[in-house]
Amino acid sequence: MVDGTMDRPPQTETPSRCEGVSRYARRSMPDAREVHATVSGPASQLALAGLLGTARLRTYASVTGGDLARAGDLYLWATQLAGALHAQLSFVEIAVRNAIDTRLRELALLDGSLPDWTTEGATPEAVYTLLRRQLADARSRASVAAAERGTRHQRSGEGATHDDVVAQLMFGAWVKLIRPVSRTESAGRQQRLWRDALRHAFPNASGDDAGRIAIGKQLETLRRLRNRVAHHDNLLEVDVRHRMNGMLSVLATIDDEYPSLAASKSTLRRLVREDPRRAW
């Protein structure tokens, strides 16, 4: 007892605000060596089953012949892979978003409108017919996000801008500007947009319609991969090297320097080498 107050046991002590979370985390959580030492134990396997659930665990256990220790190693590796893919995909999504936005701003000006083409009433007709619902949803989300900014936010009190709306558009919206959603849908609007503006967003790709088709196919493949990563789907059958090359290929059509920038800190190739299945 100190100054009439009973000391709390160290394992339940809550840090003050000024100490932050790190001191509590150091006291309450096992370090990496402790986790690794128990990964193959019965308790760890039981925890794995509880964390993943029967259906998800079955996916990994089927690959390991029912060996739960290996299933755990495989799942932990797969989560690292998902994180690395997400990081790599972010380069593509941001590069495509910015490249297309630049050309659509130019197109809006040529149409005699505002360059902020996401503004209601300022969207070029070809874009509006393709993204009417997506733009309305993006404007709504951007407005909500702006209203929820705290007083310490550097843009507190400001309304949503064009850039905010652009950031709220999903990857599928950008893909839709390049290729139709379904094979039965006419590509006439996308062909017109490509000819008038979007071929310039990918200056190192072929400027004809074959170039549009190729870019659209690559982007749709990456959109599907992005959704699988975002929804924590099983990635065990993904050809990671092929997907990595696809991402770098898309980036190269926008700027020659983008692939080396995106690959400079990527862990994907290392993770391919560390796939635990290679040692079984």
pLDDT score, position 28: 46
Give the pLDDT confidence score for residue 40 in this predicted structure.
63
| pLDDT reading at 32 higher than 60 | no
Q: Give me 60's structure tokens.
A: 């990994």
**DSSP state letters, 217-228:** HHHHHHHHHHHH
Does residue 8 contact residue 27 with C-beta atoms inside 8 Å?
Answer: no
Kindly tell me if the per-residue pLDDT of 190 is higher than 90: yes
- Whether residue 17 is contained in a domain is answered as no
pLDDT score at 48: 85
- The region of weakest confidence among 70-74, 85-89, 166-170, 205-209 is 70-74
Average pLDDT of the segment spanning 10-37: 44
DSSP H or E segment with residue 12 = none
The Cα-based distances of 137 to 121, 141, 145, 225 in angstroms read 15, 6, 12, 23
5 bridge partner residues: 2
User: Among candidates 32, 83, 74, which has minimal Cα distance to 265?
Assistant: 83
* pLDDT of 7 higher than 80: no
pLDDT tens string 117-152 = 999 999 999 999 999 999 999 999 999 999 999 999
- In whole angstroms, give the CA distance from residue 218 to residue 243: 10
209-266 confidence digits (pLDDT tens)? 999 999 999 999 999 999 999 999 999 999 999 999 999 999 999 999 999 999 999 9
Fill in the amino acid letter for 88: Q
Which residue did the predictor score with more confidence, 80 or 31? Answer: 80
Place of tokens 């799942």: 75
Task: Confirm whether 106 is domain-assigned.
Answer: yes
Residue 266 inside a domain? The answer is yes
Number of domains the chain contains: 1
Split at pLDDT 50, 70, 90, the class of 46 is confident
Token pair 């635990």: residue:
276
- Classify residue 97: in a domain, yes or no: yes
State which residues form the domain around 245.
Answer: 79-279
For residue 212 the two structure tokens come to 């549009």
Asked whether residue 22 is domain-assigned, the answer is no
Lowest pLDDT segment from 11-25, 46-60, 124-138, 146-160: 11-25
Weakest mean pLDDT among 14-28, 56-70, 203-217: 14-28
Asked whether residue 20 is assigned to any structural domain, the reply reads no
- Give, in order, the Cα–Cα distances in Å from 117 to each of 67, 70, 108, 114, 232: 55, 52, 6, 6, 34
- Whats the size of the chain, residue-wise? 280
Q: What is the mean pLDDT of residues 77-83?
A: 97
Q: Does residue 9 lie within any of the structural domains?
A: no
pLDDT, mean over the chain: 88
Residue 171 tokens, joined: 């990857």
User: Does residue 40 lie within any of the structural domains?
Assistant: no
Q: What is the pLDDT of residues 145-181, one digit of tens each?
A: 999 999 999 999 999 999 999 999 999 999 999 999 9
Cβ(189)–Cβ(129) under 8 Å?
yes
Share of the chain above pLDDT 70, in %: 86
Give the mean pLDDT of 72-101: 97
